[in-house]
Structure 1
Amino acid sequence: MNRPADNPAFPVQLREAAADWWHNERPTWIYVFKMVFAALLALGIGYALDLQSPRSALITVFIVMQPQSGMILAKSFYRVIGTLIGSAVVVVFVGLFAQTPELFLIASALWIGLCTVGSAHNRNFRSYGFVLSGYTVALIGLPAALNPGTTFDSVTTRVTEITVGIACAGLVSALVFPQASAPGLVRVIRGRFTAFVDLIGATLGGTADRQQLEATNARFVGDIIGLEALRSSAIFEDPEIRLRSGRLSRMNSEFMALSTRVHALHQLLNRLHANPAPGAAIVIDALSPYFREVQPLLTRGSGEPVMSAVDAADAGLKLEEYKRELPRRVRATRDRLPADSDSVMLDFDTASELLYRVIDDLHAYTLTYASLNQRRHEREQWDHAYTAKTSMTTALIAGARAAVTLLLLSAFWILSGWPSGDVAALNAAAFCAITSAAPDPAKATRTVAIGVVFAAIAGYVYTFHLLPRIDGYWMLAAMLAPVLMLAVLLTTKPRWAGYGLGICIFFPFLAVPDNFAHFNAAGYINEAIALLVSLIVTAVAFMLLLPPTTDWTVRVLERQLRKQVVDACFGKLAHLALKFESGTRDLMHQITMLTSSRPALRQSAFGWTFATLEIGHAIIELRTELNGIRSEQPDLLPPTAHAALNRLRETIPALFASPTPATLADALAANDHAIEQVQQSIGPHYRERSERHRLQRTLSYLHFIRTALLDPQSPLQPMRTGTDSTHPTPSRARHAT
C-alpha cells in the first residue's frame, strides 16, 4: 500500500490546496490579524495615556472595522462627527435637566428617536453618523446626569478614547497590508459593463424572458447602490478616485437611465410578440436587423466583450457612427411599411424611438466609462448625486420604537433602582438605532444576544480567573488575542457575523479592565444581565412595535414606489429624471431586502417597480418634450391637445395613488384622447421634418404609456374588469407617414 507521500498526485493536491488558501483565505486572515493588532494597539495607547476606560478605544476599532481602508476612513469620519454632535447635545441636556432626571430621560429619548429617524432616512455611513449622535447622548449623558460635575471630563475622555481607536484602525488598515477600495470599484465597473452587454444581446435578441430581466435588474440595483457606497468610501483614501468621483457618479446615473430604456424596449417587444395582429409581426421584422447590430458594437475585434476603459473608447466611436446613421436608415425602413395602418406606424415609431434612445444613452455611458482612463476629463463636471429614497413613515416608526424602548427601560431603571439599569437603557437605545436598517432587525438582535451570552461567560472566566494571575499589558494582550481573533473571524462569515459582532463589542466591555481595575462579581453579573436584557427587549420591540418585516411595511414601500409616478407628473423637471431613477431603485432595493424569504410578495412588488419605471420615465420624457414645444414652437399643438395632455397628467397620478378599475379606465380614456389630439395635429398636410419628428416623438411616448397600461403582465391587469382586453389603437385621425 502506497503512503500518501509516495503518491505523485499528493504534492500536486497539496500545492492546489495551498494556492486555494492563498487566494481565498489569506485575505481573511490578514484582515483578522490587522483588526486585532489595531485593537490591542489602541488598548495599549489608552493605558499609556492613562485614559479612564481604554477598552472604549479597543471597542471603537471593532465598531469601525471594514475590509477596505477607505471604508474605515469613511466610517471613522462620520463616527467622529456623530460623537462631537452627541457630546455637544449632552452638555446642553445636562445643563438644562441636571436636577430633573425624568426630563433628561425624556429629552434623551426624543433626541435618540430623532437620530434614529435620520439614520433610517440616510444611506451608507452617513446613517452611522446619526446613530452615533444619539448613542453618545445615551452613553455619556446617562452617567453624566447622575454626576453633573463630571460632564465635561466625561465628554473629553469619550472623544479622546474614540479618537485613539479611530487613529489606530485607520493607520493599521492603511499601512499594514493595505487593501484599497479602488480595485473593488474597478471590478464592479467592469463586471457591470460586461453583464450589461450580455443583457442587451439577450434583450434585443429576444432570448431574455421577464423573470430573467427582473432578476438581472434586481442585481443591477445592488450594483448601483454598491458602486455608490464604494465611491463614497474610496474618495477618502485614493486621490485618483477623487479626481474621477464626478464621472463615477455620472456613470451610475447614465447606467440607471440606460437600464430603464432597455427594459422599456424589451417590454414593448414582448407586447408585440404577444400581439396576434399581423401588424405586430411586420414591426418586429422591420426592426429585428437593427437589434442584431447592437451587440457587435460592444465587442472587441477578437469577439470578446468590452471590459476596460481603453476598449470602451473604441466602442464609443462605433456607437457614435451607428447613432449618426440610424435616423436615416430608420426613415428608409419606415417608408416601406404599409402607410394605411395606424397601429403599425405607432408601434414602429415607438419602438424605433426607444431604440434610438437606447443607443444614445449607451453611447453616453460608454464615453464616460472610456473617460476614466484619463486623470482629468470634461465629463467630470457632474454634480447630480445619487438620491436615496426612504419612506418617512418607516423612518418615523423606527425613531418612535427607539424612543419608546429607552423610556420603558429608563422607567424600569428608576422605579426598580437596578444598579445597571442605565447600561440596559443606553444599550437598548443604541441597538434599536443600529439594527433598524437591517432586513430582519429582530433576528439580527437575537444573534448578537447569543454572542453576548458567550462574551459574558468568557469574560467572567477572564476577569475572575485569569486577570488576577497576569501582570502587565503584554500578558493581557496575549491573553485577549485568541478570543478577539475568533470574534473577528466570525464577523467575516455572513452566517455567523451577528455572533462575532456581539463578542467583538461586549467581550472587551466586560473583560477588559479599566485603568483602575475593579473585581466585583456582583457588579459584573449585573452588567452582563443588563446587556442581555437590553438586547432581549430590543428584539421584542422589533417584533411587537410595528415590526419592519411585516407585509404592511412592504405595502408602505409599494405606496411610496407608486408615488414616484405622481412626482414624475408634477415635480420640477430640473434633474427630475435622475431623482426619479435613483429614488425608484432605492425603494426597489429596500423591498428586495425585506422580501428575500417571501417570493410571492417580492414578485408583486417587482411588478409595481417596473410599471413605475416604465410609465414614470415615459411621463418625464413626455413632459420634457412638451416643455420644449411650449418654449420653442408654442403653436405646434392646439389648445385642445394641451388640454388632453393635461388631463392625462391628472389621471395617471390618480391611478397610481389609488389603483382601481375606475382610475385605470379614466387613465386609458385620457391617454386615447391625447393620442387622437396629437394625431390630428400631425395631420395629412405638409410639415417640416423637425416639426413632424417632434410630434411623432410625443405620440410615441403616449403610445408607450398606453401599451404599459395594457400590459397583461402588469399589476394593473386585474383591474381591467369590464374593459375591452384588446383596447384598439385610436384611429380617429390617420397617422401620416
Structure 2
Amino acid sequence: MSFMDQPRAGNAFAREVIDGLRDWLATDGAVWLHLFKTLLAAFIAMGLAMRFELSQPRIAMTTTFVLMQPFSGMVLAKSVYRFAGTALGMLAALVLGALFVQQAELYALGLTVWVAACTALAVRHRQFRWYGFVLAGYTAALIGVPVVTAPDQLLLATLTRGAEVMIGILCSSVVSALVLPRHASATLMTTLAQREASFNAFAASVLRGGLERRARERRYASLVDEIVSFESTRRVAAYENPALRRQRTLLAQLNNAFMDACARLHTLDQAIKRLRATDGHAGLAVSLNELADLLDSSRCDEHALKRFGMALSERLAEPSHIDVTTCVELLCRFTSDIARLMRMRASIASGEQQRSSRDDRAGPRYAATTHRYVVAATFVRSGIVIAAVAWFWIATAWPSGGLAVIAATLACALSSAQARPAKFVTQMAAGAAFATMLGYLYLCHVYPAIDGFPLLCAALAPPLAAGAFVAARPATAGYGVGFCVFFCLLAAPDNVIVYDPGLLLNNGIAIVVSMLVAAIACAVIVPPHTPWLVGKTLAALRAQAALACEGRLPELNERFHSGTHDLMSQLLGLLAPRSREHRRALAWMLVTLEVGQAMIDLRMLRAALNMDAAPAPLRSAWSSSIAQLLHDIAMLFRAPSTVTLRRAISAVVSSIFATEALLERLHAPHEARDVRRMLACLHFIRSALVDPNAPFGMHR
C-alpha cells in the first residue's frame, strides 16, 4: 500500500465502524439503552423517596418500571394519563374510606364496583387513556386496602402514596426526555416514506394481477395493523415534538387518506377481477399497466398522477360498457387518492401547518370503538375476580389477604388490553413466583451484606434489568411485568427494611394464588376470544356499512374507515392467524369496505347533483329507489340472511333502472358525468352482492 492510500484506508475503516455503530444503536443498542434508562429512572426514584423519608420507596420504583417506554413521547403521554388516573384513584380511596368507615364488607363491595368500572372504561377508551382508567382503579386499591380498618391513617396514606407515585412519574419523564432521548417523531417520517413505497409496490402488483388471493388478503390485513400503529405513533409524537403537535390535523388527514386509498385499491382489485372474463379488460389493461409502471418508477409524483387521472376522466365521459365504466371510475378515484397522499406527505415534510387555530382544532378524528358487550364482559369478569378474593380475605381474616386483593386488581387491570388475558395473567403469576423466591434470597443474604446506596443499586441492577428485558418482548411480556412489579412490591428496600422472610413468603403466596384465580376467571368467564363475543365485534364491524348508509355526511368517510379498521384490528388480535374465523372476519371487513365506500360515494354524488332539468315524477321515483337502497343495504349488513340479501339485490337493480332513466333525461355534460359515476357505484355494489366469494353465503 502506498503512502497516499493509507489515509483513504483509514477513512474507509472509520466509516465502516460508524455504520456498524449506527446499525447496533438502531437494533440491539436501542434495547440496551432502554434498559439503562429504565434502571436509572428506577434508582433515582428510589433514592429520592428514601431521601424524602417516604414510607415505601418501592412504590416509586415500581412506577418507573410500569411507566418507562422506548420513546420519550410514550413516557410523556403515559405520565399525563398516569397523573390524572392517580389523582382520581386517590380521590376514590378517600371517598370510599369516608363512606365505609371500618366496614370491610361494604368497602370491598364499593372497591369492587369502582375497579371493575375503571377496568371496563379502560377497555372502552383504549391507547393511553386506557392507562389513566387502569391507574384510577388499582391506585384506589393500593391506597385503601392496607388501611381499611384504620381510617385515621387514610389521608396520610393517600398523600404518601400519591407523592411516591408522582416521584416515579417525574423521574421517568426527566430521564426519558434528557438522557439520550429517542423520539417517535423521527421514526414517524421514516415510517411514512417506507409505508408509501411499500403500498405503491403492492398496488402495482395488484394492478398487474400478479398476486394470489391469499397473499392479497394477508397484505390487506397487515395494512390494518399499519393504520392503527401509525395512529398510535402520531399521538405519541405530538407529546414530544411541538411542530408535529401543530401538524396533528394534517397527520390525521394523511392517515385517513391512506385508509381511503387502501379501501379503494381493494375495490378496484375486485372490479378488475370481475372484468377479466369480459372483452372490456383488454382495452383497460393498457391503463392498468401504465399506472402500475408509474407507481413503480421514480418519476411517480403528484403531477404525473394528475395527468394520468385527467386522461382517465376523459375516457369516463365517453359512453362505454358499464363494467369498463365502473373500473375506469374506480381507477380515477384511486389515482386521485394516491396523488392526495403524496401531496399531504410533502406538506408535512415541508413543515406546513394549519392556517388558524380553529383549523388546527378541527379535522378528522380517529374513531376507536369497542363493542358494549366486550365492555360489559370486562366489567363482570373483573368484578367477580376482585369480589371473590376480597370475600375470601374477609371471611378467613387472612393476614396477607389485602395484598391478594391488590394483586387481583393489578392482574385484572394490566391484562384488560390483552387478547388472551388468561395467558398474560398466568405469565404474571409465574413472574411473581420467581420474584418471591429471588426476593427471599435478597432479603436473607444480599441486603444484610450491603452498605451504601451505590452498592444497593449495583445489587438490584442484574435481576431488574433481566426482568425489564423480558417485559420488552411481546411474547414474554407477562413474565417480565410480573417479576419487576412484584419484586419491587415484595422485596425492594424501604427506608426501614423489615427482615421477615415469613411475611415475604406469605405475601408472595397470596399474590400468586390471587393471580391464578384471576387467570382461571379470565379463561372461564366470557374471555375476549369467546365465539359469542367475537361475533358481537364482527357485528359491529358489519354495522359500519350501515353507518355509511345512514350516517351524517360531514366527516362520514373518516368515521367509517377509522371505525372499520379499528374493529378489524381488534378481531385480528383475537383470532388465530389463517384460521377459518380469521379469513371470515377479513372477508367481512373487505366487503364492508367495498360496499360502504361505494355507498358513501353514491350519497356524496347524490347530494351534489342538480336534477332541476329532470321531470318531477322521474326525480321522485329515483329518490325513492335510492332511499330504499340505503335502507336495504343497512339491513343486509345488520342482519345478513338470504331474505335481506335478495331485498338488497332487488333494491340495487331498481336503483340502476331508475338512474338509467334519469341519465336519458339529463343533457348537461357535468350532470351526465355525475350520473354515470353513480351508475358505476350501483353496478359495483350489485357485483359485490352477487360475488360467489362474498361472505353473505355463510348466512344462507
Task: Establish whether TM, by shorter chain, passes 0.5.
Answer: yes
Partners of 1:30 and 1:171 in 2: how far apart? 15
| Corresponding residue for residue 8 of structure 2 | none
Give the secondary structure class of the aligned counterpart of 1:638.
Answer: helix
Q: How big is each residue's C-alpha offset from its partner over 1:73-115, in whole Å with a ceiling of 9 and x where there is no partner? A: 1111111111111111222222222243222221221111211
| Corresponding residue for residue 3 of structure 2 | none
| Corresponding residue for residue 695 of structure 1 | 675
Q: How big is each residue's C-alpha offset from its partner over 1:237-271, in whole Å with a ceiling of 9 and x where there is no partner? A: 11222232221111101110111111101011111
Partners of 1:623 and 1:429 in 2: how far apart? 48
Does the CA-based 8 Å contact 1:711-1:717 persist in structure 2?
no
- Using the TM superposition, give the Cα deviation of residue 540 of structure 1 relative to its aligned residue in structure 2, in angstroms: 0.5
Give the secondary structure class of the aligned counterpart of 2:94.
Answer: helix
- Using the TM superposition, give the Cα deviation of residue 44 of structure 1 relative to its aligned residue in structure 2, in angstroms: 0.6
Does the CA-based 8 Å contact 2:246-2:354 persist in structure 1?
no
| Counterparts of residues 11-50 of structure 1 (less than 5 Å) | 21=24, 24-50=27-53
Does 1:323 pair with 2:309?
yes
| Corresponding residue for residue 6 of structure 1 | none
Distance 1:633 1:396, change over 3 A: farther
Partners of 1:216 and 1:652 in 2: how far apart? 27
Task: Give the superposed CA RMSD.
Answer: 2.3
| Corresponding residue for residue 333 of structure 2 | 357
Does 1:397 pair with 2:373?
no
Distance 1:701 1:82, change over 3 A: same
Out of 258, 283, 288, the position equivalent to 2:285 is 288
Out of 642, 646, 662, the position equivalent to 1:661 is 642
Does the CA-based 8 Å contact 1:452-1:502 persist in structure 2?
yes
Partners of 1:323 and 1:213 in 2: how far apart? 25
Partners of 2:255 and 2:382 in 1: how far apart? 34
Out of 452, 462, 468, the position equivalent to 2:442 is 462
- Using the TM superposition, give the Cα deviation of residue 17 of structure 1 relative to its aligned residue in structure 2, in angstroms: 9.1
- Using the TM superposition, give the Cα deviation of residue 551 of structure 1 relative to its aligned residue in structure 2, in angstroms: 2.4
Q: How big is each residue's C-alpha offset from its partner over 1:690-735, in whole Å with a ceiling of 9 and x where there is no partner? A: 2211221221111111000011211113567xxxxxxxxxxxxxxx
Q: How big is each residue's C-alpha offset from its partner over 1:411-454, in whole Å with a ceiling of 9 and x where there is no partner? A: 11000000111111122122212212212111111111111111
- Using the TM superposition, give the Cα deviation of residue 297 of structure 1 relative to its aligned residue in structure 2, in angstroms: 4.0
Partners of 1:517 and 1:366 in 2: how far apart? 61
Provide TM-score, normalisation by structure 1: 0.88
Aligned-pair identity (%): 34
Partners of 1:305 and 1:106 in 2: how far apart? 67
- Using the TM superposition, give the Cα deviation of residue 145 of structure 1 relative to its aligned residue in structure 2, in angstroms: 2.6
Does the CA-based 8 Å contact 2:443-2:501 persist in structure 1?
no
Partners of 1:171 and 1:533 in 2: how far apart? 37
Give the secondary structure class of the aligned counterpart of 1:436.
Answer: coil
Does 1:670 pair with 2:667?
no
Does the CA-based 8 Å contact 1:64-1:76 persist in structure 2?
yes
Q: How big is each residue's C-alpha offset from its partner over 1:107-150, in whole Å with a ceiling of 9 and x where there is no partner? A: 22111121111111122111111111111111112224322112
Does the CA-based 8 Å contact 2:85-2:133 persist in structure 1?
yes
Does the CA-based 8 Å contact 1:116-1:399 persist in structure 2?
yes
Partners of 1:420 and 1:541 in 2: how far apart? 21
Partners of 1:633 and 1:527 in 2: how far apart? 82
Does the CA-based 8 Å contact 1:194-1:305 persist in structure 2?
no
Distance 1:55 1:378, change over 3 A: closer
Partners of 2:619 and 2:200 in 1: how far apart? 43
Give the secondary structure class of the aligned counterpart of 2:695.
Answer: coil
| Corresponding residue for residue 577 of structure 1 | 557
Give the secondary structure class of the aligned counterpart of 1:712.
Answer: coil
| Counterparts of residues 249-328 of structure 1 (less than 5 Å) | 249-273=252-276, 275=277, 280-282=278-280, 284-298=281-295, 303-304=297-298, 315-328=301-314
Partners of 1:305 and 1:208 in 2: how far apart? 24
Partners of 1:320 and 1:184 in 2: how far apart? 30
One-letter code aligned to 1:293: E
One-letter code aligned to 1:373: A
| Counterparts of residues 209-220 of structure 1 (less than 5 Å) | 209-220=212-223
Q: How big is each residue's C-alpha offset from its partner over 1:268-302, in whole Å with a ceiling of 9 and x where there is no partner? A: 111122x4xxxx222x1222222222244445xxx
Does the CA-based 8 Å contact 1:243-1:375 persist in structure 2?
no
Give 5+ residue unaligned stretches, structure 2: 1-12
| Corresponding residue for residue 60 of structure 1 | 63
Partners of 1:597 and 1:288 in 2: how far apart? 34
| Corresponding residue for residue 587 of structure 2 | 607
State which drifts further: 482-491 or 18-27.
18-27
One-letter code aligned to 1:323: G
Does 1:168 pair with 2:168?
no
| Corresponding residue for residue 616 of structure 1 | 596
Give the secondary structure class of the aligned counterpart of 1:235.
Answer: helix
Does the CA-based 8 Å contact 2:367-2:562 persist in structure 1?
yes
Partners of 1:473 and 1:215 in 2: how far apart? 53
| Corresponding residue for residue 233 of structure 1 | 236
Out of 95, 98, 106, the position equivalent to 1:95 is 98
| Corresponding residue for residue 642 of structure 1 | 623
Q: How big is each residue's C-alpha offset from its partner over 1:678-698, in whole Å with a ceiling of 9 and x where there is no partner? A: 112222x56111221122122
Distance 1:386 1:92, change over 3 A: same
Give 5+ residue unaligned stretches, structure 1: 1-10, 307-314, 338-344, 721-737
- Using the TM superposition, give the Cα deviation of residue 18 of structure 1 relative to its aligned residue in structure 2, in angstroms: 8.2
One-letter code aligned to 2:307: E
Give the secondary structure class of the aligned counterpart of 2:419.
Answer: coil
Distance 1:171 1:634, change over 3 A: farther
Partners of 1:88 and 1:630 in 2: how far apart? 59
Does the CA-based 8 Å contact 1:647-1:670 persist in structure 2?
yes
- Using the TM superposition, give the Cα deviation of residue 634 of structure 1 relative to its aligned residue in structure 2, in angstroms: 8.3
Does the CA-based 8 Å contact 1:112-1:134 persist in structure 2?
yes
Does 1:716 pair with 2:692?
no
Distance 1:256 1:686, change over 3 A: closer
Distance 1:467 1:610, change over 3 A: same
Distance 1:222 1:719, change over 3 A: closer
Does the CA-based 8 Å contact 2:275-2:324 persist in structure 1?
no
Distance 1:631 1:243, change over 3 A: farther
One-letter code aligned to 1:553: L
Does 1:681 pair with 2:669?
no
Does 1:519 pair with 2:499?
yes
Give the secondary structure class of the aligned counterpart of 2:542.
Answer: helix
- Using the TM superposition, give the Cα deviation of residue 165 of structure 1 relative to its aligned residue in structure 2, in angstroms: 0.9
- Using the TM superposition, give the Cα deviation of residue 323 of structure 1 relative to its aligned residue in structure 2, in angstroms: 2.9
Distance 1:523 1:598, change over 3 A: farther
One-letter code aligned to 1:60: T
Give the secondary structure class of the aligned counterpart of 2:609.
Answer: helix
One-letter code aligned to 2:310: R
| Corresponding residue for residue 117 of structure 1 | 120
Partners of 1:640 and 1:496 in 2: how far apart? 62
Partners of 1:63 and 1:598 in 2: how far apart? 33
One-letter code aligned to 2:387: L
Distance 1:297 1:522, change over 3 A: same
One-letter code aligned to 2:305: L
- Using the TM superposition, give the Cα deviation of residue 528 of structure 1 relative to its aligned residue in structure 2, in angstroms: 0.4
| Counterparts of residues 239-250 of structure 1 (less than 5 Å) | 239-250=242-253
One-letter code aligned to 2:43: L
One-letter code aligned to 1:35: T
Partners of 1:444 and 1:322 in 2: how far apart? 52
Partners of 1:634 and 1:45 in 2: how far apart? 79
Partners of 2:287 and 2:502 in 1: how far apart? 79
Out of 552, 567, 574, the position equivalent to 2:547 is 567
